[in-house]
Amino acid sequence: MSPIPLILVVGGDALAVRVCEELCATQGHRVALIWMQDHDLSAKLERLGCDYFSYDPNDYDALRIACVGEAASIMTLADDDRLNLQVALKARDINPSIRLVLRQFNRTLGAKLEQNLPNCSVISPASHSAATFAATALDPACFYALQFPDRGGVHAGFTQRRAGQLGVAGMSVRDAQQKLRARIVARNGSPDVSADDAFEEADTLVVFALVEHLEATSGTRQYVRVERRKRPLTRMRVAFVKRMQRLQNLDPIVLRVAAVTLTIFMIATAYFTIALQRDPFTAAYFVITTATTTGYGDITPVGHGWPTMLFAMIVMVTGVAASGIFIAFVTSALTRAQFIAMQGLRQIRTRGHVLICGSGNVGTRVIDTLGALGERVVVIDRSPDPALVEWSRTRRIELLTGDATDDRALDLCNIANARAVVALTDSDTANLEVALGARARNPLIPVVMRVQDDVFAGSIARQFEAIRTYSTTALAAPAFAMLSRFPGTRGRIAFGDDTYNVGERQQGEIPQPPPADHCIPLGVWRGGAFCHIDAFDEMEPYDRLLFIVPLSQFKTPHGAPHESSGEPVGI
């Protein structure tokens, strides 16, 4: 048996390859991937220096050939929950001490697996990345977010902004943290921040806080204000102008019929006022009863000459024709309105909402996150699933059924008054088209889009600075890679010249700081609530600690990490 731990990866998609890349970039372990024969996959792994076993992983013999019996951990990362669970359980049959890391979309099942399987961690890439998508929509300067604790906890994130933008220029760290209700992690890229130093206007700060607190201090937060006009005459004039503008959009046939009918009504009223020797009001009454063929008989044109009777017949025919046309158009409009409502196509009147384009695995999790944060959400999707329709019925969201890349669909979403747009379809180009369409309608609106191709994401970042891009693979891969050896890993962030591992640690009766050096505490979950701490000695028994640890301390002078003995890095 080799003294260097073996980490096995199961999967053949971009996430599995990215995790292998993360693992191969560090030392202290061997990496091998198990998956069906794929020449392109084999070439990628060869470039990474990763071993490749081209077998069906859901087979005991294949797992034995891949040395599961002596492996330290196995990561099942296929996009099939059932396959991942089957392979993990078979690996545990062969090696009862092997560490399990599973990819599962079903968070409920994942929680049960973690509770009942020792030395097991379960992550859903969609859930893992949803917090970052949602937080960036509310605060475009946010670069990473998470839910802490992972289930039932608060949503918090890291943002990087200047002290002047945060409104803390001239304040000490202590006063600034109190004002922001946040933990100031770094100043100008350095985590060495003195509690008594005053911030300058241009200082760049890395701040960790609850997402709702980040949103409250976001310099680009969109406030939607409805102007309240105190003078009633002004309100009436504005309302009249708006209604006249809407008349221009009516069907031209309806407008012409209405104009002809009104003209005949006025002429007939004037004529019968003279011919019947009645007052104008009574004459108008007679015209209406004649046009609608009501015929009370209280007033009759008989005995007033044939011209009067002929004019009455013209009014009758005109009234019947106009009534028929009017009823036909009203029926058509009602039918169209009902059809549009059933299809989810209607003009959105909501203001200050977040528009979600695409409601797949990631989109559903982002909707959940925004709903938990109390945000108004509008969703546009080509084929919404039944759960989404039910959310719309119960008013959790507003749903439009349509293609988000269609300009007509975007025009219905009230983007001019939206807070942010998040494009989460499965197509990178479709997401870019949605992002550009949203920016064309509202140049100031924050736009976040999902991009799976790293090269394409880099091009978008260079050409469209106002659009933030994230990849679920890039967000989840570092967490998966670190979880293979270090339970408690929550992700990875970077600021200044260093990279940091985000981890959590459950405290016992006697709180202990993480074993690694230079760890930075962020906060604790205590008594069902989250609170920031500035030092580890502020911990209390049974707190759940959230912290970051710099990874540079584990690197050799040549940039490669030490071949550590396997001590969990800061966990």
Tokens representing 537? 């000695």
For residue 558, what pLDDT is reported?
44
Task: Report the pLDDT averaged over residues 500-520.
Answer: 91
* CB count in 10 Å sphere of residue 37: 11
Q: DSSP letter string over 543-554?
A: -EEEEEEESGGG
Domains and CATH numbers, the chain: 1-123 (3.40.50.720), 232-343 (1.10.287.70), 354-474 (3.40.50.720)
CA proximity to 60, closest of 68, 52, 70: 68
Distance CA 348, CA 85 (A): 43
Element (H, E) at 284: helix 280-291
For residue 25, what pLDDT is reported?
85
CA proximity to 492, closest of 11, 128, 15, 9: 128
Q: DSSP letter string over 142-198?
A: EEEEEEESTTT-EEEEEEEEEHHHHT-TT-BHHHHHHHHTSEEEEETTBS---TTPB
Q: What is the 3-state secondary structure (H, E, C) of 341-368?
A: HHHCCCCCCCCCCEEEECCCHHHHHHHH
Element (H, E) at 324: helix 306-343
Grouping H, G, I as helix, E, B as strand and the rest as coil, residue 44 is helix
Q: Which amino acid is present at 254?
A: V
Average pLDDT, the chain: 87
φ, ψ for residue 115, nearest 5 deg: -75, -30
Q: Which amino acid is present at 324?
A: G
- Percentage of the chain lying above the pLDDT 90 cut: 56
For residue 222, what pLDDT is reported?
45
Distance CA 548, CA 519 (A): 6
In the predicted structure, residue 567 carries a pLDDT above the cut 60: no
Q: What is the pLDDT of residues 385-430, one digit of tens each?
A: 888 888 888 888 998 888 899 888 888 899 988 999 999 999 999 9
Distance CA 157, CA 493 (A): 11
Q: Measured at the alpha carbon of residue 8, what is the angle toward residues 6 and 12, in degrees to the nearest 5?
A: 150
CA proximity to 66, closest of 100, 94, 25, 29: 94
Distance CA 570, CA 190 (A): 19
Which of 206-210, 216-220, 233-237, 548-552 tops mean pLDDT? 206-210
Task: Report the pLDDT averaged over residues 441-452.
Answer: 93
Task: Report the pLDDT averaged over residues 97-124.
Answer: 93
Q: What number of CA atoms fall less than 13 Å from residue 151's CA on the CB side? A: 12
Task: Report the pLDDT averaged over residues 303-331.
Answer: 84
Q: What is the pLDDT of residues 251-292, one digit of tens each?
A: 777 778 888 888 888 888 888 888 888 888 888 888 888 888
Q: What is the 3-state secondary structure (H, E, C) of 83-146?
A: HHHHHHHHHHHHCCCCEEEEECCCHHHHHHHHHHCCCEEEECHHHHHHHHHHHHHHCCCEEEEE
